[in-house]
A and B are shown apart, each in its own frame.
Chain A
Amino acid sequence: MSGKSLALGLLIVAAFGVAGYGIGRATMPAPKPDALAEPKSVDQVGFPEQLYKWSIPPDNPQSAAKVALGKELFFDPRLSVDNTVACANCHDPDKGFTDQLPTAMGVHAKFGHRNAPTVLNSMFNIEQFWDGRAPTLEDQAEQPILNPIEMGMPDEQTVVAKLSKIPEYQKGFQEAFGSAPTYRNLVEALAAYERTQNAFDSPFDRFMAGDANALTAQQKRGWAIFNGQGRCMSCHGWNPTRPLFTDDRFHNIGVSAHSAQFVPHARQALALLAKGGGSQQIDRLAIATDLSELGRFLVTKQPHDIGAFRTMGLRNLYVTEPYFHDGSQATIWDTLDHYNKGGVQNPYLDGGIVPLGLSEEQEDDLAAFLLSLTNQRYMAEAEKEYRNQFRISRTTRPQRDTAAAMGLKGRNGPGFSGPFGDIGPGQSAMIENPASLGGY
Chain B
Amino acid sequence: MVTVTAALVAIGLVTLRYLAAADPTGVAQAQSSLPAHSVPSASRGAVVVELCDGVTHTEVKGLKPGQQMTRAQALAVTGQLMAEWRRKHPDRHWVLAQNDQASPSASSPENPARGNIAGPGETANTKSQQGDTYASFHERDFKVWQAQTDAFVNYGNQVFHSAKLLGSTIGVSCDMCHPNAANTHPETYPKYQEQLQRVALLRDMIDWCIENPIKGKTLDPNDPKMRALEAYILAQRKGVALDYGKH
Q: A132 and B129: CB pair below 8 A? A: yes
> Is the contact region of chain A dominated by helix, strand, or loop, or is it mixed?
loop
Q: A241 and B147: CB pair below 8 A? A: yes
- The answer for the CA separation of A248 and B126 in the assembled complex, in Å, is 13
Q: Which residues of A contact B24 (CB under 8 A)?
A: none
Give the one of B6, B18, B138, B147 with max A CB within 10 A.
Answer: B147
Tally inter-chain residue pairs, CB-CB below 8 A. 66
Partner of B144, one of A51, A302, A304, A305: A51
Q: A50 and B131: CB pair below 8 A? A: no
Q: Which A215-252 residues sit within 8 Å CB-CB of chain B?
A: 239-242, 248-251
Q: Which residues of A contact B148 (CB under 8 A)?
A: 239-242
Partner of A126, one of B129, B134, B220: B129
Q: Which residues of A contact B6 (CB under 8 A)?
A: 431
Q: Shortest distance in angstroms between B114's beta carbon and chain A's nearest beta carbon?
A: 16
Query: Given A431-B11, A439-B224, are A250 and B129 neighbors across the interface (CB < 8 Å)?
Result: yes
Partner of A438, one of B10, B151, B224: B224
- The answer for the CA separation of A242 and B140 in the assembled complex, in Å, is 10
Partner of A251, one of B7, B109, B133, B147: B133
Q: A248 and B138: CB pair below 8 A? A: yes
- The answer for the CA separation of A242 and B18 in the assembled complex, in Å, is 33
Give the one of A242, A304, A419 with max B CB within 10 A.
Answer: A242
- The answer for the CA separation of A231 and B144 in the assembled complex, in Å, is 21
Q: Shortest distance in angstroms between A396's beta carbon and chain B's nearest beta carbon?
A: 33
Size category, A interface: 20 to 34
- The answer for the CA separation of A416 and B187 in the assembled complex, in Å, is 38
- The answer for the CA separation of A127 and B147 in the assembled complex, in Å, is 21
Give the one of A55, A241, A430 with max B CB within 10 A.
Answer: A241
Indicate whether B105 reaches chain A with its CB closer than 8 angstroms.
Answer: no
Q: Shortest distance in angstroms between B143's beta carbon and chain A's nearest beta carbon?
A: 6
Q: Shortest distance in angstroms between B233's beta carbon and chain A's nearest beta carbon?
A: 19
- The answer for the CA separation of A437 and B165 in the assembled complex, in Å, is 13
Size category, B interface: 20 to 34
Q: A419 and B17: CB pair below 8 A? A: yes
Q: Which residues of B contact A242 (CB under 8 A)?
A: 144, 148
Q: A300 and B14: CB pair below 8 A? A: no
Q: B147 and A50: CB pair below 8 A? A: yes
Q: B109 and A49: CB pair below 8 A? A: yes
How would residues 58 to 85 of chain A score, 1 for a CB under 8 Å from any chain B CB and 0 otherwise?
0000000000000000000000000000
- The answer for the CA separation of A246 and B130 in the assembled complex, in Å, is 18
Q: B224 and A437: CB pair below 8 A? A: yes
Q: Shortest distance in angstroms between A43's beta carbon and chain B's nearest beta carbon?
A: 16
Name which residue of chain A comes closest to B224, CB basis.
A439
How would residues 124 to 149 of chain B score, 1 for a CB under 8 Å from any chain A CB and 0 otherwise?
00001111111000101101100110
Q: A50 and B109: CB pair below 8 A? A: yes
Indicate whether A432 reaches chain B with its CB closer than 8 angstroms.
Answer: yes
Indicate whether A57 reaches chain B with its CB closer than 8 angstroms.
Answer: no
Partner of A135, one of B10, B17, B128: B128
How would residues 410 to 440 of chain A score, 1 for a CB under 8 Å from any chain B CB and 0 otherwise?
0000000001000001000111101001111
Q: B130 and A432: CB pair below 8 A? A: no
- The answer for the CA separation of A429 and B7 in the assembled complex, in Å, is 11
Q: Which residues of A contact B130 (CB under 8 A)?
A: 300, 302
Q: B128 and A434: CB pair below 8 A? A: no
- The answer for the CA separation of A127 and B129 in the assembled complex, in Å, is 9
Name which residue of chain B comes closest to A305, CB basis.
B133
Name which residue of chain B comes closest to A251, CB basis.
B133
Q: Shortest distance in angstroms between B142's beta carbon and chain A's nearest beta carbon?
A: 11
Contact sample, A vs B, 27 pairs, CB 8 Å cutoff: A50-B109, A50-B143, A50-B147, A51-B140, A54-B140, A126-B129, A127-B129, A239-B144, A241-B144, A242-B148, A248-B129, A248-B141, A249-B129, A250-B129, A250-B133, A251-B133, A300-B129, A302-B130, A425-B17, A425-B18, A430-B14, A431-B7, A431-B10, A431-B11, A434-B222, A440-B222, A440-B224
Q: Taking beta carbons and an 8 Å cutoff, which residues of A are in contact with B?
A: 49-51, 54-55, 126-127, 132, 135, 239-242, 248-251, 300, 302, 304-305, 308, 350, 419, 425, 429-432, 434, 437-440
The 9 closest A-B pairs by CB, nearest first: A241-B147, A431-B10, A431-B7, A242-B144, A50-B109, A126-B138, A241-B144, A241-B148, A300-B130
Q: Known pairs A126-B129, A239-B144. 16 more at Cβ < 8 A? A: A132-B129, A135-B128, A239-B148, A242-B148, A248-B129, A350-B133, A425-B14, A429-B17, A430-B14, A431-B6, A431-B7, A431-B11, A432-B220, A434-B222, A438-B224, A440-B222
